[in-house]
Copies of this chain bind each other. A is one copy, B any other.
Amino acid sequence: MIEATPNPVTTVMRALADPTRRAVFERVFESKEISVAELTRGSGVTQGAISQHLKSLKKAGLVAERAEGRNVYYRAAPEGLEPLVTWMDHYGVFWRERFQNLRDLLKEIDP
């Protein structure tokens, strides 16, 4: 059975599961804005591949674009990670970390 429109969690996970594409997202995130050409430079893959990855990331809501002249500048949309956060939250992942941080904090305050 094929879901017509995949679950948002699935979309985001799949977008970030590929190392190359995740690296693209990371570079987009680190730069405030970055063009496709510049993104292609250190990537080790073709410009076409980069465009395809950006398309996936955009469809997942992880990046946004702004066209200016013949350039297209991409920026990260971290709010696109929300499905992941929600999913992990639902499975109680943050509690431990929260408590860990709380513990660290309390240890600092009252060692």
Q: Which residues of A contact B (CB under 8 A)?
A: 1, 3, 6-7, 9-10, 13-14, 16-19, 22, 26, 29, 44, 78-79, 81, 84-85, 88-89, 91-94, 96-98, 101-102, 105-106
Contact = CB atoms under 8 A, between A and B. Distances in A.
B10 A17 contact: yes
In the complex, the count of this chain's copies comes to 2
Contacts of A18: 10
User: Main secondary structure on chain A at its contact with chain B?
Assistant: helix
B92 A102 contact: no
27 contacts: A1-B44, A3-B19, A7-B19, A10-B18, A10-B22, A13-B13, A13-B16, A13-B17, A13-B22, A14-B17, A17-B17, A26-B91, A29-B91, A81-B88, A81-B93, A84-B84, A85-B88, A85-B94, A85-B97, A89-B97, A94-B98, A94-B101, A98-B98, A98-B102, A98-B105, A101-B102, A102-B105
